[in-house]
Amino acid sequence: MTSHTDVLIVGAGPAGIAAALTAHEHGLDVSVIDKATFPRDKCCGDGLTTGALRLLDRLGLQPATVASWKTCRDVVLRSPSGRTVDLRLPDRGQFAVIASRMDLDAALVRHARDHGVLVREGVGFVDVTRDENYRVTTSDGVITARVVIAADGMWSPVRKALQPDRSTYLGEWHALRQYARNVTGPASSQLYVWFEPDLLPGYAWSFPLADGRVNLGFGILRGSTRKVGDMKSVWASVLDRPHVRDALGATAIIDDKVSAWPIPARVTSATLRIGNVLFVGDAACATDVLTGEGIGQALLSGMLAGDAAASPNPGADYERDMRKHFFADHRMSQILGRILSHERLARGALRVIDGGDWRREKFVRWMFEDEPRASAFTPRRWHRGYLSSPGAY
């Protein structure tokens, strides 16, 4: 079976669906394929920043369609010294949400279908060649397209088909996730970030989900003092620390399943496009190198690709827009990450943040990417209401 479409998107995660909805809005014929069937789980911290929420709002996704959607306002940071900083997000709109990827991704797929996008589940990518258009072989036929958008992960099969590379890329970060239930401590409603001295520049987290559940985990920067192979034993020691146990409460039960995954965060050196094949989300290594957060970056890169697909020069326009929206923020995150790698500097940063209500309010909004990471140093992105606008929804 052979069919034709203006834009073929490989991968139906947030980046792929954002690209599909955006291209569809431009009047393009769009098809999405994914080897998985939804709902399906995805290793993730499940947190949605303000930046991600604003983009989901623009795409028209309604919170009520995501079963595990939980808005969070209270944030607790713990310094390497043990000092805690209590932060509170504004109540005008939503600034931080926790939603499982199983629920969020399935809701996005339904949303795309409701808007007329063809999403074909259980259809895998096999190969791609170039003639007059791109000719993509899938597990059940051939699709030709003017533009291909690869939203197929950090080890993108589309990229490998076009640009064979025998080297092994393992990402900049590695993260471990576990769920807990029967959480009755303050972590049932408050979001925790623990800057443990032995994890720097990484950190541990607890993100509250609905029904007394939390997403727990920690991330380490690859090449730091902590080794990926030691993560399970390190995690056991983190869970046994008194401040972590107190946050979860005495009745908390840690689920048996542990998941770990690499995180790609090198957008400034990644392959962003090959001709009119555009790489988005993890395939563009677009994750924030400071925090490991990637959903907002996936959505934005997908939307930029969807816009570029409607232009006469999709590849060139997409690469230009990615540089404009991502490169300065990535470099800023690299600088901040180097600062947080030193315990003394990390402790000092938390003391500065805790220097008054105004500092705490502005920092927590910046932390949750209410504005792009380096926006203070890129005047073209200044606007009225900087760090004071209402949240999403």
If one counts every other C-beta atom within 10 angstroms of the C-beta of residue 90, the result is 17
Q: For residues 102-120, b (16+ Cβ closer than 10 Å) or e, as one string?
A: bbbbbbbbbbbeeeebbbe
Same domain? For 243 and 298 the reply is no
Q: What is the pLDDT of residue 94?
A: 97
User: What strand order describes the sheet that includes 214-221?
Assistant: 84-88, 74-78, 191-194, 203-208, 214-221, 173-181, 253-263
Q: Is residue 359 part of a domain?
A: no
3-state secondary structure 71-110: ECCEEEEECCCCCEEEEECCCCCECCEECCHHHHHHHHHH
What's the rounded mean pLDDT across residues 266-276? 97
Same domain? For 186 and 257 the reply is yes
| Containing structural domain, residue 187 | 173-263
Q: What are phi and psi of 79, to 5 degrees?
A: -70, 160
Q: What is the pLDDT of residue 293?
A: 92
Q: What is the pLDDT of residue 31?
A: 98
What's the rounded mean pLDDT across residues 272-284? 98
Q: Is residue 111 part of a domain?
A: yes
Q: Is residue 378 part of a domain?
A: no
- 323 secondary structure, DSSP code: I
Helix 101-114, helix 14-25: angle, nearest 10: 20
Q: CA 388 to CA 358: how far, in whole Å? A: 11
**pTM, two decimal places:** 0.96
The two structure tokens encoding residue 358: 């105004």
* pLDDT-based confidence at residue 222 (cuts at 50, 70, 90): confident
What's the rounded mean pLDDT across residues 237-254? 97
Same domain? For 57 and 190 the reply is no
Position 224 pLDDT exceeds 80:
no
Q: CA 75 to CA 93: how far, in whole Å? A: 16
Same domain? For 259 and 235 the reply is yes
**Beta pairing class for 125-130 and 97-98:** unpaired
Q: What is the pLDDT of residue 92?
A: 95
Same domain? For 31 and 180 the reply is no
If one counts every other C-beta atom within 10 angstroms of the C-beta of residue 224, the result is 14
In the listed set 284, 306, 334, which residue is the last one of a domain according to the structure? 334
Q: Model confidence over 97-125: pLDDT tens digits? A: 999 999 999 999 999 999 999 999 999 99
The two structure tokens encoding residue 136: 């993509």
Same domain? For 123 and 226 the reply is no
3-state helix, strand and coil shares in percent for the chain, rounded to the nearest 5: 35, 25, 40
Provide the CATH number for the domain around residue 17.
Answer: 3.50.50.60
Place of tokens 């400071």: 290
Q: CA 236 to CA 243: how far, in whole Å? A: 14
What's the rounded mean pLDDT across residues 12-41? 98
- 263 secondary structure, DSSP code: E
Per the CB < 8 A criterion, the answer to whether 33 and 152 are in contact is no
Same domain? For 109 and 256 the reply is no
Per the CB < 8 A criterion, the answer to whether 309 and 26 are in contact is yes
What is the percent of the chain with per-residue pLDDT over 90, rounded to a whole number? Answer: 88
Same domain? For 152 and 121 the reply is yes
Q: CA 171 to CA 61: how far, in whole Å? A: 30
Q: Model confidence over 158-195: pLDDT tens digits? A: 999 999 887 889 999 999 999 999 999 999 999 999 99
Q: Model confidence over 305-316: pLDDT tens digits? A: 999 999 999 999
Same domain? For 191 and 245 the reply is yes
Q: CA 155 to CA 282: how far, in whole Å? A: 8
Q: Is residue 156 part of a domain?
A: yes
Q: Is residue 390 part of a domain?
A: no
Q: What is the pLDDT of residue 286?
A: 97
If one counts every other C-beta atom within 10 angstroms of the C-beta of residue 249, the result is 16
Q: Model confidence over 319-371: pLDDT tens digits? A: 999 999 999 999 999 999 888 889 999 999 999 999 999 999 999 999 999 99
Q: Which residues contact 287 (CB under 8 A, 6 or more apart)?
A: 172, 173, 263, 264, 265, 267, 293, 294, 297
Same domain? For 204 and 257 the reply is yes
Per the CB < 8 A criterion, the answer to whether 350 and 75 are in contact is no
Q: Is residue 208 part of a domain?
A: yes
In the listed set 334, 363, 382, which residue is the last one of a domain according to the structure? 334
* pLDDT-based confidence at residue 226 (cuts at 50, 70, 90): confident
Q: What is the pLDDT of residue 1?
A: 78
The two structure tokens encoding residue 222: 């690859």
Q: Model confidence over 27-56: pLDDT tens digits? A: 999 999 999 999 999 999 999 999 999 999
Same domain? For 62 and 179 the reply is no
By CB neighbour count within 10 A (0-12 exposed, 13-18 middle, 19+ buried), where does 82 fall? exposed
Position 295 pLDDT exceeds 80:
yes
In the listed set 315, 334, 353, which residue is the last one of a domain according to the structure? 334
Provide the CATH number for the domain around residue 207.
Answer: 3.30.9.100
Position 4 pLDDT exceeds 90:
yes
The two structure tokens encoding residue 247: 């946050």
Q: Which residues contact 140 (CB under 8 A, 6 or more apart)?
A: 1, 123
When divided into structural domains, the chain yields a total of 2
For residue 201, whether the previous peptide bond is cis, meaning omega lies within 30 degrees of 0, is yes
Q: Is residue 352 part of a domain?
A: no
If one counts every other C-beta atom within 10 angstroms of the C-beta of residue 98, the result is 22
Nearest to 10 by CA among 301, 261, 280: 280
The per-residue pLDDT of the chain, averaged, comes to 95
Q: Hey, is 20 helix, strand or coil?
A: helix
Q: Is residue 78 part of a domain?
A: no
Same domain? For 62 and 153 the reply is yes
